[in-house]
Structure formats: C-alpha cells, structure tokens
Amino acid sequence: MVSTMKTAKFAIGQVVRHRLFPFRGIIFDVDPQFANTDEWYEAIPADVRPHKDQPFYHLLAENSETEYIAYVSEQNLLEDQSGEPVR
C-alpha cells in the first residue's frame, strides 16, 4: 500500500493564527503527519480532535498573556494577515 504525503500549506518562518483559539505564532518546524505522543493526542477532546494524516506545525506561539511552544494541525491554522509583529 502506498501512502501519499500531503504537501504543507504553510512554511517555516510564516506567521499563522489558530482557527478556534486566540493565539498566533511563527512556524519553526513541520511534521508531514502527526508525530507527537498518543497521550498528547488523546488529551484533545474527541469532538475537536484533528486527523493524524495531515501536516502538524511546531509554533513559537503567543497569546495575550505569555509565549510558549504549540503543536497544531494544519486544519486548525490560518494565515495571520494582521501584519503585527510576534513578540
């Protein structure tokens, strides 16, 4: 069986924002498909859990309170068009 890899929609260095939650960040790495722990994946509520067979992005993320590392599926990211710098 041959699996097809989906091409990443976003690039390293690009600023993106989360589709549902109030944070944005800069992409610093991309996994072609889910590459985190099962424990991490199962901690996501089932009704919003993303499919594993899509690119996942490592972000230097920020919200109104802090900065942190985030791991986000492609389906939950949008291009940030605010033009605002990331802290």
Query: Mean pLDDT of successive 10-residue segments in the chain (87 residues)?
Result: 74 97 97 97 94 97 97 98 91
Give the pLDDT confidence score for residue 3 in this predicted structure.
Answer: 58
Give the pLDDT confidence score for residue 7 in this predicted structure.
Answer: 87
Scan for tokens 């710098």, then name that residue. Answer: 85
Give the residue extent of every domain in the chain.
15-79
CA–CA gap between residue 61 and residue 39 (Å, rounded) = 21
pLDDT in tens, 60-73: 999 999 999 999 99
CA–CA gap between residue 20 and residue 38 (Å, rounded) = 22
Give the pLDDT confidence score for residue 68 in this predicted structure.
Answer: 98
Give the pLDDT confidence score for residue 56 in this predicted structure.
Answer: 98
